[in-house]
């Protein structure tokens, strides 16, 4: 007997609701065949069969709430193990050595990401492709994902055209095996004919997730107004939220705002360009606005004399690069100074979870980076335990991957504090917006020479304004000012970092 248990649901997620069972007791299942679907408050998780056999019993019924590693069902191995094979046989039956149809599926998109948009197809129907050759590129709200060919063969059908939104685990295209090129043209129409009635039949009696039903009832939204993105068009909790947001925004009539432009549209048509926002840009906009709406955000300012840091960098940068193979910049000094200050003011490195405050005894430093597609925040993990050289190497590597669009979801998750350097673009002073659920973000700015009063004398010094935006729900003014003063002190006298003062 093989147990089917709840898989790991993701960071900070401890329970889920059993949304749908695709099998019932007595059904034969193949290994990795989907048994059921779980719904958390962030993402939908499919549970595959850990072994081939027969579904003996279901322990957690639809609608039940289960914790991580809870028992969902039991599978008996043996006689039922071979049962799924005949169901798959019709597709492969036409020719035993002529190759089989191979599905191109949406890969795992990352924690809390359930859908993506097909941005570009690199191949067309009829093209011959090699295994692992890139077929298309998907765009999520955080990263771009390339989809390689699962096998060598011919691309016989594209099911999700460019611009289509697809769910994690959905089907993108169909390929014929390498030896099936002769029968590819005949197989494609048959596959299309087979999928059409299947889609029609599954769309009739689709059971929406329990959480979605509850949300629709509470919001008073009709099922017809909700576009389901789950399996077979099933409505999910997020779909209801999107429908509710759309309904709330409709009272502001778009035609009324567009009408006054009609008389001048002909003149401006050649001078305007309308471009759909990328998913990344949409997510940036949503997260920043959510941050303003959720956190009690406040910003405190100070200034730092960069004389000592610049002197250390000038004296040792060549030897540093020769030994460590990394350029000595300012970011390692600021990262070290922030880690130092966070130890004294731990609430700036904490987050609110419901009615709890979660203090982090480590520093996963987010370094905001501008890219051609928008702002991303790769995370330097355990930055508090790194040397200057390790920090500089990590920042350089993450920055290069960010510019090339190669960052993974894991590289942008789990940050506890963020540094944003607007100075590289010439910003003299700004108020950075929090990166939720973090409680603090440091804004760096342009280094500018200014006259300063030092020991009764007016001297010219390289000065930088610093800005700390913080969540006033968890960080008091005293803590925020103390943090910024400690950063200032460490930068104006870097020896304090060595002595832990």
Report the chain's mean pLDDT, rounded to a whole number. 79
Q: What is the 3-state secondary structure (H, E, C) of 94-151?
A: CCCCCCCEEEEECCCCCCCCCEEEEEEECCCCCCEECCCCEEEEEECCCCEEEEECCC
Catalytic annotation present for 472:
yes
Question: What's this model's pTM, rounded to 2 decimal places?
Answer: 0.50
Cα-based torsion angle of the residue sequence 254, 260, 265, 271 in order, rounded to the nearest 10 degrees: -80
The pLDDT of residue 449 is above 90? yes
Give, in words, the CATH class of 211-242.
Answer: few secondary structures
pLDDT at 250: 57
- CATH code assigned to 94-197: 2.40.50.100
pLDDT at 12: 64
Q: Which of 31-35, 121-125, 283-287, 423-427 is the least confident region?
A: 283-287
Does residue 473 sit in helix, strand or coil? Answer: coil
pLDDT in tens, 145-168: 778 888 888 888 898 888 888 887
Q: Give the pLDDT mean for 12-19.
A: 79
Q: Give the pLDDT mean for 48-66.
A: 87
Could you tell me if 448 and 359 are in contact, meaning their C-beta atoms sit under 8 angstroms apart?
A: no
Could you tell me if 142 and 412 are in contact, meaning their C-beta atoms sit under 8 angstroms apart?
A: yes
Catalytic residue among 127, 305, 472, 500: 472
The pLDDT of residue 87 is above 70? no
Question: Per CATH, which fold does 1-92 belong to?
Answer: OB fold (Dihydrolipoamide Acetyltransferase, E2P) (2.40.50)
pLDDT in tens, 186-237: 444 444 444 444 444 344 456 666 567 766 766 667 777 888 776 567 777 6
- CATH code assigned to 282-499: 3.30.559.10
The pLDDT of residue 496 is above 50? yes
Q: One fold for both 94-197 and 282-499?
A: no
pLDDT at 139: 79
In the chain, what are the domain boundaries?
1-92, 94-197, 211-242, 282-499
- pLDDT bracket for residue 275 (50, 70, 90): confident
Q: Give the pLDDT mean for 132-141.
A: 81
Output the CA angle 348-306-471, nearest 5 degrees: 15
Catalytic residue among 103, 290, 404, 476: 476
Catalytic annotation present for 305:
no
């Amino acid at each position: 007997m093989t147990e089917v248990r709840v898989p790991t649901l993701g960071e900070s997620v401890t329970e889920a609701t059993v949304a749908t069972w695709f099998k019932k007791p007595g059904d034969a299942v193949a290994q990795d065949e989907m048994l059921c679907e779980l719904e958390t408050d962030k993402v939908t998780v499919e549970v595959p069969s850990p072994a081939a056999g027969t579904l003996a019993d279901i322990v957690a019924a639809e609608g039940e709430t289960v914790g991580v590693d809870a028992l969902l069902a039991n599978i008996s191995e043996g006689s039922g193990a071979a049962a799924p094979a005949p169901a798959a046989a019709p597709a492969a039956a036409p020719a035993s050595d002529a190759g089989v149809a191979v599905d191109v599926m949406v890969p795992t998109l990352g924690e809390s990401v359930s859908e993506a948009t097909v941005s570009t197809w690199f191949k067309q129907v009829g093209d011959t492709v090699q295994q692992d050759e890139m077929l298309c590129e998907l765009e999520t709200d955080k990263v771009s994902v390339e989809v390689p060919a699962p096998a060598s063969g011919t691309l016989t059908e594209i099911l999700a055209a460019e611009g289509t939104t697809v769910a994690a685990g959905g089907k993108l295209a169909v390929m014929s095996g390498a030896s099936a090129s002769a029968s590819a043209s005949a197989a494609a129409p048959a596959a299309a004919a087979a999928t059409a009635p299947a889609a029609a039949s599954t769309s009739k009696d689709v059971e929406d997730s329990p959480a979605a039903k509850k949300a629709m009832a509470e919001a008073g939204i009709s099922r017809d107004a909700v576009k389901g993105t789950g399996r077979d068009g099933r409505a999910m909790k997020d779909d209801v939220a999107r429908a509710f947001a759309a309904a709330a925004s409709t009272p502001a009539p778009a035609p009324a705002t567009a009408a006054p432009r009609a008389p001048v549209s002909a003149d401006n048509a050649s001078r305007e360009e309308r471009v759909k926002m990328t998913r990344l840009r949409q997510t940036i906009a949503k997260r920043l606005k959510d941050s303003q709406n959720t956190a009690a955000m406040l910003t405190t300012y100070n200034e730092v004399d960069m004389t000592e840091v610049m002197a250390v960098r000038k004296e040792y940068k060549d030897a540093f690069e020769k030994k460590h193979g990394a350029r000595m910049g300012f970011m390692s000094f600021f990262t070290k100074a922030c880690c130092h200050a966070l130890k004294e003011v731990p609430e700036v490195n904490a987050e609110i979870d419901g009615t709890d405050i979660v203090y982090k005894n480590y520093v996963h430093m987010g370094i905001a980076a501008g890219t051609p597609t928008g702002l991303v925040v790769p995370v330097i993990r355990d930055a508090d335990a790194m040397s200057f050289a390790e920090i500089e190497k990590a920042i350089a590597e993450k920055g290069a991957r960010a510019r090339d669009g190669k960052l993974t979801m894991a590289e942008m998750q789990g940050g506890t504090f963020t540094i944003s350097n607007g100075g590289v673009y010439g910003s003299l002073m700004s108020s950075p917006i929090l990166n939720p659920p973090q409680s603090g973000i440091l804004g760096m700015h342009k280094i500018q020479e200014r006259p300063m009063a030092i020991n009764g004398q007016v001297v010219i010094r390289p000065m930088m304004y610093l800005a700390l935006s913080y969540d006033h729900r968890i960080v008091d003014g005293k803590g925020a000012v103390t943090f910024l003063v400690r950063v200032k002190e460490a930068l104006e006298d870097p020896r304090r970092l060595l002595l832990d003062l």
